[in-house]
Amino acid sequence: MKQDAKKGLRDLRQPIADPPAQITFPCDYPLKVVGDAADDFAACVCGIINKHAPGVDETAIQVVDSRNGRFQSVRVTIRATGEEQLRQLFEELKATGRVHMVV
């Protein structure tokens, strides 16, 4: 960051670099997977999640419909073991063509 030494002010034209978020693995990792509402959407998402993070507590999975019923979100917390696991999980969820967003 550039600062004016005399005034102690930062040059607002320069972007502030945010440090990358650090995750310590293994950890509990909450997921929210959003897609078009369908009878089998949650089962599809849960099947992929169980493939990459076996042992998910199925009683803790929440399926929430949007206000107008057009979308569904599947909310679950997995035990994340590393960045590669998360990358593969996200890629497979997106590859279904049914998932709009993973948060």
Structural domain boundaries enclosing 69: 19-102
Give this prediction's pTM. Answer: 0.78
Number of domains in the chain: 1
Q: Residue 3 falls within a domain, yes or no? A: no
Q: Model confidence over 40-85: pLDDT tens digits?
A: 999 999 999 999 999 999 899 999 999 999 999 999 999 999 999 9
Is 10 among the domain residues? Answer: no
- 8 in any annotated domain: no
Identify the pLDDT of residue 15: 74
CA–CA gap between residue 19 and residue 81 (Å, rounded): 22
The pLDDT tens digits for 17-38 are 766 678 899 999 999 999 999 9
**In-domain check, residue 24:** yes
SS3 label, residue 56:
coil
Give strand ranges (E) for the chain.
3-4, 9-10, 27-36, 62-65, 71-80, 99-102
- 83 occurs within a structural domain: yes
The answer to whether residue 48 is domain-embedded is: yes
CATH number at residue 28: 3.30.70.260
Residue 2 has pLDDT above 60, yes or no: no
Does any domain span residue 6? no
Tell me, yes or no, whether 4 lies in a domain: no
